[in-house]
Amino acid sequence: MLAAIYEDIDQHFAEMVEIRRYLHQHPELSFKEFNTAQYISDFYKKIGIPVESKVGGNGVIATLKGKLPGKTIALRADFDALPIQDAKDVPYKSKVDGVMHACGHDAHTASLLVLAKIMQKHVDKLEGSIVFLHQHAEELPPGGAKSIVQSGMLSEVDAVFGNHFWSTLPVGTIGTKEDVFMAGADRFTITIRGKGGHGAYPEETKDAVVIGAELITKLQTIISRKVSPIDTGVLTIGQFQAGTAFNIIADEAKLQGTIRYLKPEVKETMKAELFRIIHGVCEMNDADCDIDYQDGYPPLVNHPNETEIIFEVAKEIEDVTNVLHSPVQLAAEDFAYYTEYTKGAFFFTGAHKVGHDHPHHHPMFDIDERAMPIAAKTLIGAYFACQAQGKEE
């Protein structure tokens, strides 16, 4: 049966491409994906699979119940886009100014929709249920996964699997790892309030730019002197905004950044040191400050059995040429909330487009669409592997 499904997936490749390119032309930002959510919901209504909309916000969940007893397995795809101007010269270029799918979520969605259409034809032979989990707002904390979990809609799910197309891996590669796979990520905003004035009379001011520059330098000592070299931590200042003219000393500066970590105790050390250094530098310079610290996604932890399922399923897929034990990634994913809630695993599907060497979140980002059938096969293969384990148990 699985071989026939794999063949059917290949035969529906053109439909996957068509859906992906439509979504690529009509992206929507996190928490604003109303039309995309409606498109997904309408698709399921058209093919006759029961669907629930507005789950935890803009989430959409369709459930295909098999005729035979078995486990309930969720397969997840996210569908939000990013505030980036699409710079590609392609027929499917984004039609929305300043918004594009620069991370592959359009392809995640297309793969899962077509897979659902294929599996609906096999419902009489299916065991348990397949939950097609379409999630909004992966890109922007607090994310969509947390609210979907809190909705209670996954209470009967025995395991969950998710895929991310990875533009730095060749097509034909499946990569994942057991235990911590992706980092936890928090964000913070620091507002420094000094005293502005004329650039010719610095002694009369409290220069917010100088204070901010000193702060950036001091914050880097958290990694070099407060986190063990054995552990992993990242602190990045991504924005530094201050000043209005070349000859005016700024009275205010705003810094924004992120903390990345693999262990909760490392996060707590970094967070505490961040606050201590900020207050210390501002007090030393007789300036005031505000700190807005937002706890983001926790580390994504893959469960051992479900990770092994991905490895074993991938080895049996003809299109997969490399099954990779991936290194840990310092990028973050709110799929972490699902594997906190139930058993599951997240994996990468190689989608590098030859001659198009642009990373995720880049204005020229694109994928090799041949990766979509591979992801669909891996996801449905995991569903069947879980059902087989249920028989063995």
In this predicted structure, the answer to whether residue 393 has a pLDDT above a threshold of 60 is: no
pLDDT digits (tens, 9 = 90+) for 346-356: 999 999 999 98
- Mean pLDDT confidence for 9-17: 98
Nearest-angstrom CA–CA distance, 236 and 75: 33
Write out the E strands in the chain: 51-55, 59-65, 68-78, 127-135, 159-166, 173-176, 179-182, 184-193, 197-198, 233-242, 248-249, 252-261, 288-297, 300-302, 322-325, 343-350
Strand partners, 132: 62, 75
**What Å distances lie between residue 170 and 1, 165, 320, 362, 368, CA to CA?**
28, 10, 10, 18, 9
Closest alpha carbon to 332 in 365, 295, 293, 300? 300
Domains of the chain with CATH codes: 2-181+299-392 (3.40.630.10), 184-297 (3.30.70.360)
- Average pLDDT score, the chain: 97
pLDDT digits (tens, 9 = 90+) for 35-45: 999 999 999 99
* Structure-derived torsion over alpha carbons of residues 317, 121, 346, 354, reported in degrees to the nearest 10: 50
Asked if 155 and 341 count as a contact pair (C-beta separation under 8 A), the reply is no
Residue 204: active-site member: no
Q: Check residue 1 and give its pLDDT.
A: 87
Q: Check residue 390 and give its pLDDT.
A: 63
- Mean pLDDT confidence for 86-95: 98
Residue tagged active-site, from 8, 78, 138, 306: 138
pLDDT digits (tens, 9 = 90+) for 112-141: 999 999 999 999 999 999 999 999 999 999
Closest alpha carbon to 358 in 25, 18, 88, 171? 88
Asked if 295 and 146 count as a contact pair (C-beta separation under 8 A), the reply is no
In this predicted structure, the answer to whether residue 268 has a pLDDT above a threshold of 80 is: yes
Closest alpha carbon to 138 in 31, 49, 266? 31
pLDDT digits (tens, 9 = 90+) for 319-365: 999 999 999 999 999 999 999 999 999 999 999 999 989 999 999 99
Contacts for 106 with CB less than 8 Å, ≥ 6 apart: 20, 21, 23, 24, 27, 79, 81
- Mean pLDDT confidence for 297-320: 98
Residue tagged active-site, from 28, 33, 80, 273: 80
- Mean pLDDT confidence for 145-159: 98
DSSP letters of 188-257? EEEEEE-B-EETT-GGGSB-HHHHHHHHHHHHTHIIIIIS-TTS-EEEEEEEEEE-SSTTEE-SEEEEEE
Read off the pTM: 0.94
In this predicted structure, the answer to whether residue 392 has a pLDDT above a threshold of 70 is: no
pLDDT digits (tens, 9 = 90+) for 185-199: 999 999 999 999 999
Residue 308: active-site member: no
Q: Check residue 271 and give its pLDDT.
A: 98
Q: Which residues of 118-135 are buried (b: 16+ CB within 10 A; e: fewer)?
A: bbbebeeebbbbbbbbbb
Nearest-angstrom CA–CA distance, 271 and 275: 6
pLDDT digits (tens, 9 = 90+) for 213-228: 999 999 999 999 999 9
DSSP letters of 345-374? EEEEEE---TT----TT-TT----TTHHHH
